[in-house]
Amino acid sequence: MTASTRQFALFGTPLAHSLSPRLHAAFARELGVAIDYQPIETGVDAFAEALASFADAGGQGANVTLPLKRHAVQACRTLGERARRAGAVNTLVRLAEGGWHGENTDGAGLVRDLTGRHALDLRERRTLVLGAGGAACGIVPALLDAGIGELYIVNRDGARADALVDAVGEPARVHSRYFEQLPELGEFDLVVNATSAARHGGLPVLPMSLLSARTAAVDLGFGDDAIAFLAWARAGEAHAAIDGLGMLVEQAAESFEIWHGVRPGTDAVHDAMRAGAASLVAAD
């Protein structure tokens, strides 16, 4: 690593299969930027100490993933508008005077993927978001800004769903419900799985009545994590069943632009990731 190499990291757990280091290495090669981007495995209890050690070692920016997105808010001296509205942070920028500035690129990444890569018109879509954790917090404001219609947020912990609805501050448009109430809600034009259920023993049973031939079903996860939800969507003959790989690529590009002042191209990287191209593996 040379003196001009800038240091970045990914915080969260588990990180063994994260694509983020390869994504940022690919973006850096494309634009001729010298970076060192390393995963730092840490849970909630050790996050503050790990982040401080990273800063002391010269760290200049970081991504934050599960289960730390909400906790990262407390680590920030300042917040961008998207992070403030979301109440969650996935991108950290080291401030010149010390401390961290927090941003959230998840929602922008999702909307860019759905409207650009998948050519979906989100306007006035009756929308269901499953989950009310850090991932859901990151995408809900962006979906509302993109013009979706009525929004229902469903979570096992009703208090969490209520808190997210209250934070949004649009009671005529955004509503909270329990999973047990799903059969009562009817069809949706857009269903987004923002839970981590597949990582922890399986997706809750979802009624087919949520789906129609015009529904776009989106899982924020990809690979094994998205299999159950996308299988449910296809079995219900949804119009589209979309995983979260495109969102991952687009939110990473948003973070890269925040850190480096230039946005990388994403289509070639996305296609290579989808194909599992060996060319994305960073050189030793």
Which DSSP string corresponds to 172-209?
A: TTEEEE-GGGGGGS---SEEEE---GGGGT-PPP--GG
Peptide bond into 21 cis (omega under 30): no
DSSP assignment letter at 133: S
Confidence (pTM): 0.92
Q: What is the pLDDT of residues 137-194, one digit of tens each?
A: 999 999 999 999 999 999 988 889 999 999 999 999 999 999 999 999 999 999 999 9
The verdict on whether 69 is a catalytic residue reads: yes
CB 273 within 8 A of CB 132: no
Which one of 22, 24, 69, 85 is the catalytic residue? 69
Neighbour count for residue 278 (Cβ, 10 Å): 7
**What CATH code would you report for 6-104+246-280?**
3.40.50.10860
Q: How far apart are CA 238 and CA 212, in angstroms?
A: 6
6-104+246-280 and 107-243 agree in CATH topology: yes
Q: Which CATH number fits domain 107-243: 3.90.1150.10, 2.102.10.10, 3.40.50.720, 3.40.50.620?
A: 3.40.50.720
Residues 85 and 224: their CA atoms lie apart, in Å, by 30
Mean pLDDT of 237-266: 97
Indicate the range of 25-34, 115-124, 220-229 predicted with least confidence. 220-229
Q: List, in order, residues 6 or more apart from 219 with CB less than 8 Å away.
A: 192, 193, 225, 226, 229, 230, 242, 243, 244
Per-residue model confidence (pLDDT) at position 37: 98
Q: What is the pLDDT averaged over residues 192-197?
A: 88
> What Rg do the C-alpha atoms of the chain give, in angstroms?
19
Write down the domain spans for the chain.
Answer: 6-104+246-280, 107-243
